[in-house]
Structure 1
Amino acid sequence: MRTISAAETAPATYAWSVHAEQLKVKAGRHLAVDGLDLRMQNGVHGLLGPNGAGKTTLMRALATVLRPAGGKLTILGQDVGGRGNLRQARRGLGYLPQEFGFYPRFTVREFVEYMAWLKEMPKHTIPGAAQRAIERVGLTTRADARMKTLSGGMLRRAGIAQAIVNNPLVLLLDEPTVGLDPEQRLDFRELLRDLAVDSCVLVSTHLVEDVVAACTDVLMVNEGRLVFQGDANTLIDHGGPNDAGDSPAERGYSALLRRARNGGVA
């Protein structure tokens, strides 16, 4: 049994769950995130932006998969851009990438338990934590089904289950609603609200309506820079009847994107 250090049990002293200053991150040789400033605390934060805006690269940096190329990035009080304690930060993270790997012959339960083990959760807590995570995403009846037999939507829910199994303080979800039907998306929104009570949740999506319905805070990036941060009502207020979109939120998004491309920042 590993001995838990005093540092690990000490109360959190950081002001922000996620804090980035002039953050630069490369995707290959391309500078995909360029001088981004960001502060986030508990709540549901929606991340919007066109394809190629840097959303996935930003998510990967926040998940400590990519090291920053410049600037400062602090996750749960750990400076992960320099010589910070990545292991300590990762224990408080949950991450669902756009595409996640798994062993096809694993059952859903085995997959979630295996991911809990990789996150260094105490062995005796893993079965119960896995069961709770599976129940929260609505896969109780499929818990002992093999991953290879699941539909696309069920696979996505299994991915969400592994992301929340350790009750993360920072939860990063990249396109989590892909493959979910309308009823499942409503359930997912309710789950987000529940998780956000004690966690900082960042959701990247192209579905503007999901962001408006579930998120307390909206972030928008374009060409690697943060061009908007505010609540959903403020996003909507930026739109007008002549802007593209089928809803007030989409028209607000279109207006902000047009302004950003013309050199303006909201």
Structure 2
Amino acid sequence: MSAVRTADIAPTAYAWEIQAKGLMVRAGKRRMAVDGLDLSLGTGVHGLLGPNGAGKTTLIRALATVLRPAGGSLELLGVSAGGHTGRREVRRRIGYLPQEFGYYRRFTVREFVEYMAWLKEVPRKDIPAAVQRAVERVGLADRADDRMKTLSGGMVRRAGIAQAIVNDPRILLLDEPTVGLDPAQRLRFRELLQQLGTDTCVVVSTHLVEDVAAACADVVLIADGALVFQGTPDRLAEAGGPRDVGDSPIERGYSALLSRPEPERGTW
């Protein structure tokens, strides 16, 4: 049986797991990559879409508390991401997979995920079971004792997903998680997302619109650091027409919204 922290069983004192108002986040010293973003996200799977340079990775890093807001407000699980109070507890309850992550090549998969569980302050007695559960969920149980340096790129990515979920996070942030996964692995990953989304706020940043259509109940589209659209995949598909660029209705909706002049975009 897993140990339960007081914070995990305390009554929920927030309306949304993630709430941003007028959020501004810098990328580097000068460029404001997220500029005046209003966003509220609760339990479920949210797909984060946008062209290159839209501010997706900067936003994910701010949600992971790697970057601090330069303006506006950001609350995670009811705690301000700009302050120090409660930030450590919030980080225990976040899972994060960046686009690129470091690891010791001589670690086995199990050792890598165990180490990340320790960093996230998972109770020591709970770590073995938590690690086993995480590697099984990403389909690496048969490779758990293989060294990281022997894995393919797709397997390394799956190990990264395992470390992100090992602490049973309340907020799970995945930046381009399907890079390197083959079609069958992507299908299994979509199933895992849907399972996780039943009791977790999952944010998936991706360029693959079809992954969003298949796995996400909510789509967030940003461009130039601002919100362009938030709604269901069906509503996104309705925004496009036969003349818009794309091989599917949702791709046509995506391109239609991005091609509109900024004052006409709004939010749905």
TM over 0.5: yes
Where 1:125 maps in the other structure, the secondary structure is: helix
Residue type matched to 1:177 in 2? Answer: T
d(CA) in 1 for partners of 2:250 and 2:188? Answer: 21
Where 1:177 maps in the other structure, the secondary structure is: coil
Question: Which residue of the partner structure matches residue 246 of structure 1?
Answer: 247
Name the count of aligned residue pairs. Answer: 264
* Contact 1:96–1:172, Cα closer than 8 Å, also in 2: yes
Question: Which residue of the partner structure matches residue 194 of structure 1?
Answer: 195
Question: Which residue of the partner structure matches residue 41 of structure 1?
Answer: 42
C-alpha displacement of 1:11: 2.3
Question: Which residue of the partner structure matches residue 258 of structure 1?
Answer: 259
Using a 3 Å threshold, how does the CA distance of structure 1 residues 211 and 87 change in structure 2: closer, same or farther? same
Where 1:110 maps in the other structure, the secondary structure is: helix
Whether 1:71 aligns to 2:72 is yes
Whether 1:12 aligns to 2:17 is no
* Contact 1:236–1:252, Cα closer than 8 Å, also in 2: yes
Residue type matched to 1:52 in 2? Answer: G
Question: Which residue of the partner structure matches residue 206 of structure 1?
Answer: 207
Residue type matched to 1:133 in 2? Answer: A
Question: Which residue of the partner structure matches residue 61 of structure 2?
Answer: 60
d(CA) in 1 for partners of 2:126 and 2:12? Answer: 22
Aligned-pair Cα RMSD in Å: 1.5
C-alpha displacement of 1:82: 3.0
Question: Which residue of the partner structure matches residue 86 of structure 2?
Answer: 85
d(CA) in 2 for partners of 1:174 and 1:104? Answer: 22
Residue type matched to 1:259 in 2? Answer: R
Using a 3 Å threshold, how does the CA distance of structure 1 residues 13 and 165 change in structure 2: closer, same or farther? same
Using a 3 Å threshold, how does the CA distance of structure 1 residues 229 and 101 change in structure 2: closer, same or farther? same
Alignment of 1:86-235 (within 5 A): 86-235=87-236
- Where do 5+ consecutive residues of structure 2 fail to align? none
Question: Which residue of the partner structure matches residue 25 of structure 2?
Answer: 25
- Out of 193-202 and 6-15, give the one that drifted further: 6-15
Greater than 4 Å deviation, 4+ residue runs: 4-9, 260-263
Where 2:34 maps in the other structure, the secondary structure is: strand
Residue type matched to 2:22 in 1? Answer: Q
Q: TM-score, normalised by structure 2?
A: 0.95
Using a 3 Å threshold, how does the CA distance of structure 1 residues 6 and 249 change in structure 2: closer, same or farther? closer
Where 2:190 maps in the other structure, the secondary structure is: helix
d(CA) in 2 for partners of 1:88 and 1:115? Answer: 16
d(CA) in 2 for partners of 1:213 and 1:221? Answer: 19
d(CA) in 2 for partners of 1:227 and 1:48? Answer: 10
Using a 3 Å threshold, how does the CA distance of structure 1 residues 79 and 260 change in structure 2: closer, same or farther? farther
C-alpha displacement of 1:7: 5.3
* Contact 1:244–1:251, Cα closer than 8 Å, also in 2: yes
d(CA) in 2 for partners of 1:164 and 1:176? Answer: 13
d(CA) in 1 for partners of 2:96 and 2:32? Answer: 22
Using a 3 Å threshold, how does the CA distance of structure 1 residues 125 and 26 change in structure 2: closer, same or farther? same
Using a 3 Å threshold, how does the CA distance of structure 1 residues 8 and 142 change in structure 2: closer, same or farther? closer
Using a 3 Å threshold, how does the CA distance of structure 1 residues 264 and 158 change in structure 2: closer, same or farther? same
Residue type matched to 1:71 in 2? Answer: G
Using a 3 Å threshold, how does the CA distance of structure 1 residues 262 and 5 change in structure 2: closer, same or farther? closer
- Where do 5+ consecutive residues of structure 1 fail to align? none
Percent identity reads 68
C-alpha displacement of 1:265: 2.0
C-alpha displacement of 1:260: 5.0
d(CA) in 1 for partners of 2:265 and 2:183? Answer: 35
Residue type matched to 1:49 in 2? Answer: G
C-alpha displacement of 1:103: 0.4
Where 2:253 maps in the other structure, the secondary structure is: helix
